[in-house]
Amino acid sequence: MKWFKILILGISLILAMMLASSVIGMVFSAMWYLFLFGIVGLVGFGAYKFFAKKDPPQLSGRNTASEIEIESARRALEKYKRRLKLK
């Protein structure tokens, strides 16, 4: 009977070590896949930032109404300054 208990204890220890090593293997495998997905994500994000347009998006065209008005006001001021210098 003593040999039977030792045999069962040995088999159970071997199965416990196999279970522990398989759990550790699954954990390391999951960590490896997370690492790879992280690297791929960082490369993708870097490529997106590298190839993205550098200019900020504008709501309208190049000359808005306020820019046109400011430019016409500048021209008018220059015109008045020239007239004052001539007199």
3-8's contacts with Cβ under 8 Å and 24+ in sequence apart are none
Whole-model pTM over 0.85: no
What six digits make up the tokens of 1? Answer: 């009977």
Band of residue 30 on the pLDDT scale cut at 50, 70, 90:
very high
DSSP 57: P
Q: Cβ contacts of residue 71 below 8 Å, gap of 6+?
A: 63
Q: pLDDT for 8-27, tens place per residue?
A: 999 999 999 999 999 999 99
What six digits make up the tokens of 35? Answer: 């690492």
Band of residue 82 on the pLDDT scale cut at 50, 70, 90:
confident
